[in-house]
Chain A
Amino acid sequence: MSTNLVAVIAVLIIWLGIFLYLVRLDGKVKKLNRK
């Protein structure tokens, strides 16, 4: 169970990283389009 917990947290962190990267990119693209 503890291995599973570590795996869940690791995958959640990776997912959050991808999500935040996309949000940041989205913001940059919107800013470029406004110019």
Chain B
Amino acid sequence: MPNFWKFLLLLLMSAVIIAVWVMEPPQNQLGEVSRLFYFHIPAAWVTVLAYFVAMRQSVLYLRRKELLYDVKASSAAELGTLFCILATITGSIFAKMTWGSFWNWDPRQTSILILLLIYGAYLALRSAVREPERKAALSSVYCIFAFPAAVFLVFVTPRVYQSLHPADSIIDASGRIQMPAPILVTFLASLVCFTLIFVWMHRLQTAIGRDLHREGKL
């Protein structure tokens, strides 16, 4: 990533962290714990973005049969899983403070666990096959089918079943953004920062994967 973006990321994320703790909590009735909102939702957003990138690169691999696309797909899926774990941990802390326990088998929590298992199986599948072309072909097909499941688990399941998880914390039922301007600006800045961190990490992960592949260690 060019140095300009790195410098911008450093400044913007530092500003977000300071703003998150200097401003009033986004939901006063939930108290200090509601500040987690600025990190929990961006982590969940990056999870979906990463799984989308993994699916897109898998499609490109199947079309062009170049292993670089497979390396990009697996890097994105690994990072997606990392951010999914972050979203789960921050969500659990939120659950403890608002619902009384870290894990309640709420539809949102159950669906995120299934999502982690689906992509855990993807990573297990990759480590089980040694031949690079076969590994790439099998995992690409799996990844393409896994993404619609991810969309269903993140966006549909918690809305179909009764869940304690707030569904309209950003956009209300009428489609309007329901946040005061300072909170919205900080939230959007956090979203941009998390996306930049993902882009940077994905480039690094891809470069490392490509080198390992070149040396025959992958």
Residues of chain A whose beta carbon lies under 8 Å from any beta carbon of chain B: 4, 7-8, 11-12, 15, 19, 22-23, 25-26, 29, 32-33
Contacts and interface: CB of A to CB of B under 8 A. Distances in A.
B18 interface: yes
Contact of A8 (B9, B17, B200, B207): B17
Contacts, number: 36
A6 B184 CA distance: 24
A19 B10 contact: yes
B37 to A, nearest CB: 14
A32 B211 contact: yes
Interface size class of chain B, counting residues whose CB lies under 8 Å from the partner chain: 10 to 19
Q: In terms of DSSP, what is the predominant structure of the interface of chain A?
A: helix
Interface of B: 1, 6, 9-10, 13-14, 17-18, 21-22, 197, 200-201, 204, 207-208, 211
Contacts of A7: 21
Nearest to A6: B21
B1 A26 contact: yes
Contact of A29 (B13, B17, B22, B208): B208
Nearest to B193: A15
Nearest to A3: B32
Contacts of B200: 22, 26
A26 B204 CA distance: 7
A7 B197 CA distance: 22
